[in-house]
């Protein structure tokens, strides 16, 4: 009996049925978030985007977090992201 109980515990799902795959997007595809227009001017900086508009920008993620705290409720739905600088060349590895 101990063996059956231990085996049942091992084979039991790690999460309840309502979590994980059962709750994922039905089609399995999440549409990409469009880049805000003019975000290239913030190359090399951290920005906070809310509703497709840059609401704050800073040189470091900590600086941006401080700015968002100062903005208060206006930055409630903002998403922080780093704007990569444009790449001038390609790196090719051989070997």
Residue 94 domain flag: no
Residue 15 domain flag: yes
For the entire predicted model, the pTM comes to: 0.58
CA 69 to chain centre: 19
Residue 88 domain flag: no
Residue 43: predicted pLDDT: 92
Domain range for 10 is: 2-82
Residue 90 domain flag: no
DSSP conformation class of 21: G
Give yes or no for a contact between 85 and 58, defined as CB atoms under 8 angstroms apart. Answer: no
Provide the domain count of the chain: 1
What are the tens digits of pLDDT across the range 41-56?
Answer: 999 999 998 888 899 9
């Amino acid at each position: 009996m101990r063996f059956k109980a231990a085996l049942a515990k091992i084979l039991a799902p790690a999460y309840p049925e309502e979590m994980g795959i059962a709750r994922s997007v039905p089609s399995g595809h999440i549409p990409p978030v469009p880049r805000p227009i003019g975000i290239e001017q913030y190359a090399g900086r951290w920005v906070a985007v809310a509703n497709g508009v840059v609401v704050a920008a800073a040189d470091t993620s900590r600086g941006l977090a401080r700015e968002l705290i100062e903005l208060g409720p206006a930055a409630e739905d903002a998403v922080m992201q780093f704007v990569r600088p444009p790449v001038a060349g390609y790196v090719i590895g051989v070997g």
